[in-house]
């Protein structure tokens, strides 16, 4: 377990390079960061030795090729945000959700964010495994300690879907939510959410929200055992997307949505969720543990259950997956 070693100046250079799709000249870097050109070059060389790929183009400057997740950049860009008040980047871990839960049990503060380059036992919903392709997926978990009843914790998954939808929509158009909290582009899954809780009757001790985003198609292709249609954010946005900008966008939207929830309750989140839900008002097939039912998705209740109109009657659908059957 380690975080990427980086000093503040190197972080600043990386932050500037990772925010640009074109080379940035050594003169500009030097002016903006108050360093000499030779100083910039020394830092670039040092980062290259750490394995970070930075291309130099004669007469044009430097361009970042690696998708670097720098904890320094994250911590600095997030300022005094509650979510991400501590950001840790790990090279490898079993599961970021597990690691955040372990740290929660050891007393970590609300807002802790852990991101990993690799997960050896990434987990998905409904007991599925979650594949984190090295450097082409974002695996991020957040610790929350809200003063809410345990029954309301599913609302936080829906809140996360709304935050994720808002964040990813800024990077790619036509992003939608599919109940309960899959994020889709063009009907294929781009991101998923796994929420876990520790508590006792009447009291929540810790909620861990895990977010997995497919940033690029893995070089070796998608794993064969994936049964759903999947895609990635770079395909959805039509441009190279990186993990750092995606992580920052998600954390910032989580911060806004979480404060909105704590101040105004679930109603505005539920409304935003319903507006972004690809199947709102449409015919769906809902798969549960004992088969499936078909009906019109009519509403979302405050427990996060989907209300389906089936043969004229309203049925609550609490766990499982849905399949879109087209518009009604």
Residues forming contacts to ligand BTN in the complex (CB under 6 A) are: 95-97, 119, 122-125, 128, 130, 139-141, 182, 192-194, 210-212
d(C-alpha 122, C-alpha 130), whole Å = 5
When the beta carbons of 102 and 128 are compared against ligand BTN, the nearer one is: 128
Instruction: Return the bridge partners of 175, or none.
Output: 185
Question: Least distance (Å) from ligand BTN to the CB of residue 209?
Answer: 8
Question: Least distance (Å) from ligand BTN to the CB of residue 298?
Answer: 24
Tell whether the torsion through CA atoms of 198, 288, 250 and 163 is positive or negative.
negative
When the beta carbons of 10 and 141 are compared against ligand BTN, the nearer one is: 141
Q: How far apart are the first and last CA of the chain?
A: 51
Task: Tell which residue, 274, 279, 273, 288, has the closest CA to residue 318.
Answer: 288
Question: Least distance (Å) from ligand BTN to the CB of residue 246?
Answer: 13
d(C-alpha 90, C-alpha 93), whole Å = 7
Of all residues in the shown chain, the one whose CB is closest to ligand BTN is: 192
Question: Least distance (Å) from ligand BTN to the CB of residue 243?
Answer: 12
Are the C-beta atoms of 186 and 233 separated by less than 8 Å? no
Give how far the C-alpha of residue 191 lies from the chain's centroid of Cα atoms, to the nearest Å. Answer: 7
When the beta carbons of 17 and 209 are compared against ligand BTN, the nearer one is: 209
When the beta carbons of 17 and 177 are compared against ligand BTN, the nearer one is: 177
When the beta carbons of 68 and 193 are compared against ligand BTN, the nearer one is: 193
| Count of other CB atoms within 10 angstroms of residue 193 | 24
Place of tokens 């911060």: 255
Question: Least distance (Å) from ligand BTN to the CB of residue 181?
Answer: 7
């Amino acid at each position: 377990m380690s975080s990427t070693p980086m000093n503040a100046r190197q972080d600043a250079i990386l932050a500037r390079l990772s925010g640009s799709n074109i080379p940035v000249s050594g003169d500009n870097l030097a002016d903006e960061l108050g360093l000499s050109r030779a100083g910039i070059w020394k830092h670039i060389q040092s980062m290259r030795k750490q394995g970070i790929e930075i291309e130099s183009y004669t007469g044009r400057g430097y361009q970042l090729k690696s998708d670097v997740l720098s904890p320094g950049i994250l911590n600095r860009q997030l300022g005094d945000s509650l979510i991400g008040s501590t950001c840790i980047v790990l090279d490898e871990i079993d599961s970021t959700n597990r690691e955040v839960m372990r740290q929660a049990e050891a007393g970590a503060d609300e807002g802790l964010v852990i991101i990993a380059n690799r997960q050896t036992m990434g987990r998905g919903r409904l007991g599925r495994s979650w594949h984190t392709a090295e450097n082409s997926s974002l695996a991020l978990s957040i610790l929350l300690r809200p003063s809410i009843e345990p029954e309301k914790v599913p609302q936080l998954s829906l809140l996360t879907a709304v935050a994720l939808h808002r964040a990813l929509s800024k990077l790619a158009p036509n992003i939608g939510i599919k109940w309960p909290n899959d994020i889709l582009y063009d009907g294929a899954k781009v991101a998923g959410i796994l929420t876990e809780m520790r508590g006792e009757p009447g009291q929540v001790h810790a909620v861990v929200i895990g977010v997995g985003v497919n940033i690029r198609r893995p070089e070796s292709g998608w794993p064969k055992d994936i049964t759903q249609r999947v895609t990635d954010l770079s395909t959805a946005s039509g441009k190279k997307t990186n993990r750092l900008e995606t992580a920052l966008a998600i954390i910032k939207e989580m911060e806004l949505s979480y404060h909105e929830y704590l101040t105004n309750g679930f109603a505005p989140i539920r409304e935003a969720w319903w507006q972004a839900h690809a199947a709102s008002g449409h015919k769906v097939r809902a798969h549960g543990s004992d088969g499936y039912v078909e009906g019109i998705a009519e509403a979302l209740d405050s427990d996060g259950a989907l209300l389906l109109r089936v043969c004229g009657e309203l049925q609550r659908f609490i766990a499982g997956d849905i399949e879109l059957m087209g518009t009604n």
